[in-house]
Amino acid sequence: MLLGVQKEILRKDGKDQQASLEEIKGDIRDCKNDGFLKSRSGSSLKDIGIDLGIFKGSKIKGNYKGEAVYGEPTEPNHPYYKSLKTLKGFDLTFEMFMELINKTDYLFRQLVESLEKKMAEEIPMSPRERWLRARQEKRMEEERKMDEELKKILNIP
């Protein structure tokens, strides 16, 4: 099953990724319904020593309350360093898999947004595209001003 999951996640565009995560979610639900995977309300990956709040790389101000993590999970000082022999299948729950799926979905969405933004900055715009963008920005500014005026009239802070 995990090999299939890996193949599904590695598809190229966001729509395939989303559909694949939904398929995985369905497979996990089926495993729970068929009795292969237990559900324990309130269980989390933290129960098995995995904190998805830890991020890799340099600490960015305001992103995470904890410390930044450097290195790979295969290195002994890494918080996730753990032999797979210590992980038992019966410790895994439906909620843990849903947590992984949701985090994966969130990270894919962040990646796509970041790549789209980067591409928009790097790809030169045609004169028409520049005109449309300027027109859109002007319209948004006019709407913002109108909202401010309405707030003043209605005495809304």
Flag whether pLDDT at 149 surpasses 60.
Answer: yes
Residue 80 CA to residue 100 CA, distance in Å, equals: 15
pTM of the full structure = 0.57
Flag whether pLDDT at 21 surpasses 90.
Answer: no
Q: Per-residue pLDDT averaged across 108-116, rounded?
A: 89
Q: How far is CA 112 from the centre of its chain?
A: 10
Flag whether pLDDT at 105 surpasses 60.
Answer: yes
Residue 99 CA to residue 136 CA, distance in Å, equals: 38
Per-residue model confidence as pLDDT tens digits over 67-89: 556 667 677 766 667 766 777 88
Which of residues 126 and 92 earns the better pLDDT score?
92
- The tokens for 82 are 């753990």
Whole-number pLDDT of residue 54: 66
Burial 20-38 (b: 16+ CB within 10 A, else e): bbeebeeebeebbeeeebe
Say what angle helices 14-33 and 94-122 make with each other, to 10 degrees.
Answer: 180
Say if residue 3 is exposed, middle or buried (CB neighbours under 10 Å; 0-12, 13-18, 19+).
exposed
Domain coordinates of the chain in residue numbers? 2-124, 125-157
Confidence of residue 118 (pLDDT cuts 50, 70, 90): confident
Whole-number pLDDT of residue 85: 74
Q: What is the dihedral of CA 126, 130, 133, 138, to 10 degrees?
A: -160
Q: What is the mean pLDDT of the chain?
A: 77
Which of residues 120 and 147 earns the better pLDDT score?
147
Give me the DSSP letters along 59-86.
--TTT-SS--B-S-TTSTTSTT---GGG
Q: Per-residue pLDDT averaged across 89-93, rounded?
A: 88
Confidence of residue 95 (pLDDT cuts 50, 70, 90): very high
